[in-house]
Amino acid sequence: MQRSAFMNWFSVLAKNDWRTTFILWNSNAALPHYLPTLRRYLHSQCILKRLLLFLEAVVIKCKRDGDFNIHPLVKEAMESRKPVVALESTIVTHGMPYPQNLSMAREVEEIVRENGCVPATIGILNGCIHVGFQDEELEILATAKDVMKVSRRDFPYVLSQGLSGGTTVAGTMVVAHKARIPVFVTGGIGGVHRGGEKTLDVSADLTELSRTPVAVISAGVKSILDIGRTLEYLETQGVCVATFGKSREFPAFFSHQSGFQAPYQVQDEKAAAQLIARSLTLQLGSGVLIAVPCPPHGAASGQLIEEAIQQALDEAQEKKITGKELTPFLLQRVNELSGGESLKSNIALIKNNAIVGSRIAVALNRLQRGQGGRGNLSQNENTPDVPRPVVIGGINIDIIVKAKAATIKDGGQTNPATVRQSFGGVGKNLADCLSRLGKMPVFISVMGKDEHSESVLRHCRHMDMRGVLQLKGCNTATYCAVITGTGELTFGLGDMEIHQQITEQYVSQFKENLCLAPIICIDGNVPVSTLEYICQIAREQHLTVYYEPTDVNKASKPFVSENWKGLTCVSPNLRELRAISQTLGNPVPTDLPSKVEDIIKTAIALAYPLLRGLHCVVVTLGQHGVLLCGRSKGGSVSLHPRTCYENATGELRAVHYPALPVPTEEIVNVSGAGDSLMAGIITGLLAGEDTDNCIRMGLLSASLSLRSYEPVSPEISSTSVSLARLKAQRWPVAKIWKLS
């Protein structure tokens, strides 16, 4: 190619023509070789630079995952056999205007979570099928223009052209089946159009139900269609159809009564699950349709809707609207003619279907797993299907007080400040960040069953919280941090008594998870006896254990006995490192230095004795970055435990990685930056990245959290902290020091 093709691609990029940019990029393998030149050229053009980074991230992701991009939560749920509910995306792309479409999609996903399932909204973004969307990806789809409605026939074209689309009922069924998701919730399915005996206009949804073994939970077929002929067609195609509830009356989507009877009826979620399970066991190759009546409070007047439908049909005929454009036109016109009643009913029935469908999915999951119930990840449910990292530590309600001045006056006067509440705790922050980065950990913790606990669970809905024990009569831990206007922590106050309930007995219920975990992370909130239990198992089983000291007073907990040598790595700041050294009887300085070079020398001196028992020490230096101390491999220090074992007699060295610069005015919270740092590092280790990339993933995660009012930034994801972002970032030069 060459230069002319590159200049053509660049001109398309400059016009923000994303679709053509993507197609050209994928169609010419030589384009990526021009990226270094392009990065230099775009250094001062922030908008185009961000667009390029997004392009790189999406292309790399799609090439890595093929046509499918499965959300980490959905992937983890499928691997651990938790219930998943598929959701369509045409309601986002074609069903409602923005921002109502986005808020509805988010609300339906939340309903699915509240009823015990993991939601998997299915759609296509830039030529890649998504089974579950990150929140920012869902917003991109909701605001995208010229997106296609995608059924079975449309997949090859849409994917080959790098387009975006909302999947119809048929399209969603295809993807759900390929992803092994047996239950799919939607509003209403397509069917035989009125007058279909002449036009032969029959929805592909009906054909898909006859050949794809997925259970569809809907409010029947859309009432703009011919319900009687649709039921006849489904019978001919061998599709099992049943109503949900006390009546066999087949619902008319917006209203309860259609005048037609369904072949069968299921009284409740358990009966529906048994019906679906039998269908799957027989391997009939066809789906099941469960028709759920619209709830009474949301049902519209049958006569009002029917009159609106007749008028809309007449208008469609006059305008010669047919094919895939007919249904969207009719739905929009019926809503206008009914004064918005049809839309209100549509919203009510979608929410109701999500509740019923999720409960059916939970009941089906119990049948398939042969279990009678679902609770915390303990006893029978803590046996892992795949090894996952384990995080053991505290959950806190964090109250962050940031003074407006650089220094805080302590003479009793009021210091002007901003006060915010968030959800923290070192263990929670580590698990939170790892989850956002796609490494879904088993999280073991304890909190009260009080007014705060439900808020915590809602906030942590993207995490696996089954290992969190809730205790009646106990307070959820609360922590208040006071920081200066420059972002430095002055002091903290906390009610942390409940952390003592993270006992050895409770943690021992997860022993199999611990023994299989690629990495165990434990924080200083955990009682000494529990820490010793973990260290003992680690020494016996040769496990990789990372210890986050939490604060100066808790830093030394594992070091009161020789069990600390069961740890692999610790990540203290300089004050915590001094406290650890003092507990071990090593000489420590009275005062800590303030100059960078002196700080590094002091950290090296304090870390050196720890390396007789640890593989490495990660000293967090705040605005000065990270100091990694350990044994060298090829002249550099390696974080990976295996290389540490192989180089047990190697030379001791330290590497200083400067932090990414963050302007003081952009720093709004420091409480979770260190935890995000370690989670980023651990994510890199789990992904098999080299040490430099692991540290940089940590530094990038930390820089995002410094800019967020939450301890862990919602902006952290596998896209925002990716290899593409690391390569695009200008990193300060790391310096190697010898330990003596």
Residues annotated as part of the active site:
88, 222
- Tell me which amino acid residue 596 is: V
Q: Count CB atoms within 10 A of the CB of residue 701.
A: 30
Query: Could you tell me which of 474, 479, 466 has the C-alpha nearest to residue 500?
Result: 474
Cβ-based neighbours of 184, under 8 Å, separated by 6 or more:
85, 86, 87, 88, 169, 172, 173, 176, 214, 215, 216, 217, 357
Strands 520-523 and 288-291: unpaired
Helix (H) or strand (E) holding 11, with range, is helix 3-14
Cα distance between residue 332 and residue 312, in whole Å: 9
Distance of CA 275 to the CA centre of its chain: 32
Query: Locate tokens 């950290």: which residue?
Result: 603
Cβ-based neighbours of 316, under 8 Å, separated by 6 or more:
322, 326, 329, 330, 333
Q: How far from 2 is each of 30, 31, 34, 113, 684, CA to CA, in Å?
A: 8, 9, 10, 50, 36
Cα distance between residue 123 and residue 102, in whole Å: 14
Cα distance between residue 589 and residue 602, in whole Å: 8
DSSP 3-state helix, strand, coil percentages of the chain (rounded to 5)?
A: 45, 20, 35
State the DSSP string of 620-663: E-GGG-EEEEEEEETTEE---HHHHHHTTTSPEEEEEEPPPP--
CB 632 within 8 A of CB 701: no
E strands, 336-403, where?
Answer: 390-392, 396-403
Cα distance between residue 5 and residue 235, in whole Å: 55
Structure tokens at 99: 């921002």
Q: How far from 242 is each of 172, 272, 569, 600, 737, CA to CA, in Å?
A: 21, 9, 57, 70, 72
Q: How far from 530 is each of 231, 526, 540, 547, CA to CA, in Å?
A: 61, 7, 16, 13
Query: Could you tell me which of 726, 718, 723, 722 has the C-alpha nearest to residue 132?
Result: 718
State the DSSP string of 591-617: S---SHHHHHHHHHHHHGGGGGT-SEE
Backbone angles phi, psi at 56, to 5 degrees: -60, -45
Structure tokens at 90: 């045409």
Cα distance between residue 482 and residue 480, in whole Å: 7
Structure tokens at 40: 């230099």
- By CB atoms closer than 10 A (0-12, 13-18, 19+), residue 690 is middle
**Which residue intervals of 518-572 are DSSP H helices?**
528-541
Q: Name 470's bridge partners.
A: 447
Q: Name 493's bridge partners.
A: 480
Cα distance between residue 151 and residue 165, in whole Å: 10
Torsion, CA 665, CA 671, CA 676, CA 681, rounded to 10: 100
Strands 569-570 and 616-620: parallel
DSSP designation for 221: B
Compute the half-sphere exposure of residue 666: CA atoms within 13 Å on the CB side of its CA.
Answer: 10
